[in-house]
Amino acid sequence: MPRYAFKIEYNGAPFAGWQRQAEQASVQGAIEAALARLEPRAHTIAAAGRTDAGVHATGQVAHADLEKDWDPFRLSEALNFHLKPAPVAILACARVADDWHARFSANERRYLFRLVQRRAPMTLEKGLVWRVQNLLDAEAMREGAQHLIGHHDFTTFRSSICQAASPVKTLDEITIEEITHADAREFRFRLRARSFLHNQVRSIVGTLERVGAGAWAPEDVKIALEAANRAACGPVCPPQGLYLTGVGYPDDPFAA
């Protein structure tokens, strides 16, 4: 059976997350239903990462095995037709080797978190960013973030229900970009690693927001990390500002 890789974009607001749910809408379920319209049978697709309820994606990757030898472009067009009106789009499709796996072949994940400091409620981007009202110090957050880069035990920044075998991960990069708007300041946190623990990004951003607000000193991030205790973590920020922006592979299946 030919195997196909998909690059996927979605708005996570109406879904209970990526993973198929028995009673609730999911991104995986929407795509599998669209596949069943093309090849009537039960389908199971595998993704590079399982995003939580409310989390968005601009570069999720998944794969599926099909019976027909599809032209990748025609397959993506057909899936996009059958996905309507769900806020899910197939951005690219590629034929891959039978042993290629969206999750296990990946060597990098990239996330973006959008935090907006503004007094007024969000309207046009409601559900797409995390809004806070308190002033934030970008330099303090950058200083605090430096303590997290590298190879560490991230127990403090790991959900209590995380199923990863080990809390030890290597965080390759955290950058914080500040964008000034007429009535707001936006902070874009970009994180890159081979893999992440459950709620790791939201735990990190929530903690750094406390640094930016002046409730924590930048050095407190190092103390919390070394505690290796979930109770030492700052507040976990909401999912609405989180985006899975890309998944890296030794050979990019979508390069062509």
How do residues 100-136 score in pLDDT, each as one tens digit?
A: 999 999 999 999 999 999 999 999 999 999 999 999 9
Domain region containing 126 = 108-245
Which strand (E) or helix (H) includes residue 245? Answer: strand 242-248
- Note the pLDDT of residue 142: 98
- Note the pLDDT of residue 181: 86
DSSP 141-158: HHHHHHTTSEEEE-GGGS
Residue 182 has pLDDT above 90, yes or no: no
Q: For the chain, what percent of residues have pLDDT higher than 90? A: 96
Q: Are residues 96 and 132 in the same domain?
A: no
Which residues are tagged catalytic?
A: 52
Residue 235 has pLDDT above 80, yes or no: yes
Find, among 99, 87, 19, the residue nearest to 56 by Cα.
87
Which of residues 84, 105, 126 is at a domain's end? 105
- Note the pLDDT of residue 256: 73
CATH number of the domain encompassing residue 120: 3.30.70.660
Q: Are residues 123 and 67 in the same domain?
A: no
Which of residues 105, 123, 154 is at a domain's end? 105
Q: Are residues 98 and 13 in the same domain?
A: yes
Q: Are residues 82 and 138 in the same domain?
A: no
In a domain, 250, yes or no: no
Confidence of residue 4 (pLDDT cuts 50, 70, 90): very high
In a domain, 39, yes or no: yes
Which tens digits make up the pLDDT trace of 44-93?
Answer: 999 999 999 999 999 999 999 999 999 999 999 999 999 999 999 999 99
Tell me whether strands 3-10 and 46-47 are parallel, antiparallel or unpaired: unpaired
Q: Are residues 83 and 153 in the same domain?
A: no
pTM: 0.96
In a domain, 254, yes or no: no
Q: Which residues on adjacent β-strands are paired with residue 248?
A: 108
Q: Are residues 91 and 177 in the same domain?
A: no
Instruction: Find how far residue 155's CA is from the centre of its chain.
Output: 19
Q: Are residues 100 and 112 in the same domain?
A: no
Find, among 84, 86, 76, the residue nearest to 27 by Cα.
86
Domain count of the fold of the chain: 2
Confidence of residue 96 (pLDDT cuts 50, 70, 90): very high
